[in-house]
A and B are shown apart, each in its own frame.
Chain A
Amino acid sequence: MSVSARVARGAAGASRRAGRRRVEPVFYWFLLPTLLLFTALVLLPAVVGIFYSFTDYVGFGNWSFVGITNYRAVFSDPAVFDAYAFTIGFALVTVILAQAVALALALGLTSRIRFATALRSIFVIPMVISGIVIAYVFNYLFSNTLPSVAGSIGFGPLEESILGNPDLAWIAIVIVSAWQTIPGALLIYIAGLLSIPDELYEAAAIDGASPWRRFRSVTLPLIAGFILINTILGIKGYLNAYDIIVALTQGGPGTETRSVAMTIFTGYTGGDYAYQMANATVFFVLTVVVSLLQLLATRGRGLRL
């Protein structure tokens, strides 16, 4: 993490590093509230939760240690497997769709067009709207409007609500999730594209490069870091999918669109607290893997923490 080196250089210059200066006590007071709050509300619950994942605790009353029984059960539970398969698949499809659209929009918005500011304003609006609220709006569109439009033009497959179709319901979730998360990626891409010097495009044009060639050989390599970051941040967000699914399908039809977060939360009401904590711990490991990929990626690409 190169920020560390930089902070060191910037803040505690060579003169200070020479001797062990005394830390002004007030700095401890600056740091303390944050550390306390963080420890009490994040670390402590995490440790307690992981502890209970090795017990048969049901959420109240007595408990005893059961070793790794819960973990064994999690790994052989088809319901849990389906939730992971759905969540990971959903995250991958959504991230590809959202990144492709965001990049295309960013390319359009940074090229020579009319109404650029107004168009950008419109495309960013979804960022400030609550996911669950807009998902209720889309729920209406998918279950009422789309079927009636499909019916009037005689397009059979869409005459029934796709939210009730076990094979298609996930598509609705992908669309709404992408709709809501594209603006964030879009702003990052716009900033990335604006950082590419014009001279490079001019040189490429003089060399006779076609627009597609210019995109592939100039734009793409120079924004690769931004694509990588957006992709990893996107996956991290989509893995926590919950709000939009609640409003669109509530995990249905059946358990077809149930996300990992949804299965974990059943531990709150369903009496299998310890079991779902084991599930949450597995989910934690998955998140750590994705986050480590992010650290590696940011480091490798000259982007830094």
Chain B
Amino acid sequence: MTTTPTHARTTPPGTEPDSRPPVNPKRKRIGAASRTVTISLMIAALVVVIPLYVTIAMSLKSTSQAADGNAFALPWPLNPDSFATAWRLTDFPVSFGISLAVAAATVIGTLVLSSLAAYAIARNWDRRLFRWSFYYLLGAMFLPFPVVALPQIKLTALLGIDSPVGVALLHIVFQLSFSVLLYSAFLRSIPAALEESARIDGATTWQIFWRIIMPLLGPMNATVGIFAFLASWNDYMLPSLITADPAQQTLPVVQSIFQSQFGTNYNIAFASYLMAMAPTVLVYLFAQRWVISGVTQGAVKQ
């Protein structure tokens, strides 16, 4: 599973470190050698860029060009057929749909369950039952998937959810402790007075939660949602062991299932890899402000 930071504290919206541009004019470090540092970082960035470039270039080559061993050569002539072949071979729409459904269910389930639980815990902290529930949920920190994997495989098979349904449920369960932690830290910064005035106006707790608390949780929802989505969408270990039917596997697992069939048709293999990684990279590139501030907010006590 993911390494979810557990020391998180939250900041009021707008004060997270990322709300200011990374290069703040006031932050000029004395004697900073800007050109040397810039160029060094650009060279370092190649370590990230090269594997991505190779993936794109390889996926656009013909089978014979892909086999010539020069990964860096520009693909020529362009051969978009590898995408069509990979699409058909791996049944891409199905595994993409399953990945998306599992990740969406994980995000929604995590958001709803952990915000409700955190709200109950935060507002009843003086009661032992709620306090102990909090520590009980935190216990998941001590239980990574490999420890409980074997019994969980048996249990999901027994319940007939050795399928994407079970995967989504387990993904939710492994997100709960971290998310409840984030939410309850955030909820204590919301003054109870807000709710009390609504209560005087006759609102029920259920209404207060959805009309007042949930909107206030906005930034936390983003953080919890991003962590849940990435953990679920990119996971290989759990779905590969839980889902019994290979035809119902998520995108990362499909890549390993088709290794032998890709064989030395590297262009098809890379087209498949590219289709598997492109969705999150594209979303990230367009929404990076929110992704970065969301992750930073979840991970750092400021």
Contacts and interface: CB of A to CB of B under 8 A. Distances in A.
B17 A195 contact: yes
Interface string A28-68: 10110111011001111110110010000001000000000
Contact of A41 (B70, B169, B283): B169
A121 B169 CA distance: 32
Contacts of B121: 7, 31
B20 to A, nearest CB: 8
A34 B205 contact: no
- Contact size range, A: 35 or more
A245 to B, nearest CB: 11
A8 B188 CA distance: 8
A110 interface: yes
Interface in A256-305: 260-261, 264-265, 267-268, 273, 276-277, 280-281, 283-284, 287-288, 291, 294, 298, 303-305
A240 B143 CA distance: 11
Given A124-B292, A128-B281, A3 B185 contact: yes
B200 interface: no
A273 B269 contact: no
B176 interface: yes
Interface string A229-256: 1000110110110110011000000000
A265 B292 contact: no
Kindly state the interface size class of chain B when it binds its partner. Answer: 35 or more
Contacts of A260: 146
Chain A interface mostly: helix
Interface in B1-54: 1-7, 9, 16-18, 20-23, 26-32, 34, 37-38, 40-42, 44-45, 47-49, 51-52, 54
A141 B192 CA distance: 57
A46 B155 CA distance: 11
A202 B26 CA distance: 12
A264 B144 CA distance: 12
Contact of A148 (B26, B69, B120, B152): B69
A109 B41 contact: yes
A145 interface: yes
B54 A305 contact: no
B187 interface: yes
A187 B295 contact: yes
Contacts of B148: 42, 45-46, 49, 280
B211 interface: no
Nearest to A51: B151
Interface stretch (A69-77, A111-119, A155-163, A164-172): A111-119
A81 B259 CA distance: 30
Nearest to A147: B69
B84 to A, nearest CB: 20
A16 B236 CA distance: 47
Contacts, number: 364
B170 interface: yes
B88 interface: no
Interface in B78-135: 113-114, 116-117, 119-127, 130-131, 133-134
Interface of A: 3-4, 6-13, 16-17, 23-24, 26-28, 30-31, 33-35, 37-38, 41-46, 48-49, 52, 59, 105, 108-117, 119-134, 136-138, 140-141, 144-145, 148, 179, 181, 184, 187-188, 190-192, 194-195, 198, 201-202, 205, 211, 226, 229, 233-234, 236-237, 239-240, 242-243, 246-247, 260-261, 264-265, 267-268, 273, 276-277, 280-281, 283-284, 287-288, 291, 294, 298, 303-305
Interface of B: 1-7, 9, 16-18, 20-23, 26-32, 34, 37-38, 40-42, 44-45, 47-49, 51-52, 54-55, 58, 69-72, 113-114, 116-117, 119-127, 130-131, 133-134, 136-155, 169-170, 172-173, 176, 180-181, 184-185, 187-189, 192, 204-206, 209, 230, 233-237, 241, 251-252, 255-256, 259, 266, 269-270, 273, 276-277, 280-281, 283-285, 288, 291-292, 295-296, 299-302
